């Protein structure tokens, strides 16, 4: 039995709607494993009810300024904006930075890539799918660890376009 991409997407959607964190299906020599990424929730500390805010005070301005005040420029305003392009996973699978465990990674942070050059591999259902850069530029972020499961649409890397 083989699983179509649509069936895998449907399983991921169903899995995301439940508390189940991992699902494995086996049929003959085909095995499909789907795991949810670990998410951490951070909660703000509770403020005791006895603490109350001081009443707000208002002051009247007799002669308001007639012209709007221009915002003060910041250092960030003077820096050139960089166009970052995200390389996303086109499928659910396992992320690999190199063609085999003994080989060097396809790319490192700071490497320059050309449009169409392979930047990683996503293994899905025992098939190795090469993921290519959609633009030329410099790798500025690699957001996934080697051998980590990835979701459809998950950002893998960011490229500063040249």
pTM of the model: 0.51
- Give the pair of three-digit tokens for residue 16: 């995301």
Return the beta strands (E) in the chain as ranges. Answer: 22-27, 30-35, 84-88, 93-96, 112-113, 118-124, 127-132, 137-142, 149-150, 155-161
Q: Are 120 and 97 in contact (CB under 8 A)?
A: yes
156 φ/ψ sector (left φ>0, alpha ψ -120 to 50, else beta): alpha
How does pLDDT run across 20-64, given as a tens digit for each residue?
A: 777 777 766 777 777 766 544 444 444 444 444 444 444 445 555
């Amino acid at each position: 039995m083989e699983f179509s991409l649509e069936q895998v997407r449907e399983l991921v959607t169903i899995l995301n709607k439940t508390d189940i964190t991992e699902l494995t299906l086996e049929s003959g020599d085909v095995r499909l494993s789907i795991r949810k990424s670990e998410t951490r929730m951070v909660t703000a500390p509770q403020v005791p009810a006895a603490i109350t805010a001081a009443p707000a005070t208002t002051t009247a301005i007799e002669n308001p300024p007639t012209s709007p005040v221009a915002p003060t420029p910041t250092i960030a305003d003077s820096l050139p904006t960089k166009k970052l392009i995200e390389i996303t996973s086109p499928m659910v699978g396992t992320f690999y930075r190199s063609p085999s465990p003994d080989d060097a990674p396809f790319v490192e942070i700071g490497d320059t890539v050309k449009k169409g050059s392979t930047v990683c591999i996503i293994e899905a259902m025992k098939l190795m799918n090469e993921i290519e850069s959609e633009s030329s530029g410099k790798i500025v972020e690699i957001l996934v660890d080697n051998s980590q499961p990835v979701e459809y649409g998950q950002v893998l890397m960011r490229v500063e376009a040249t």
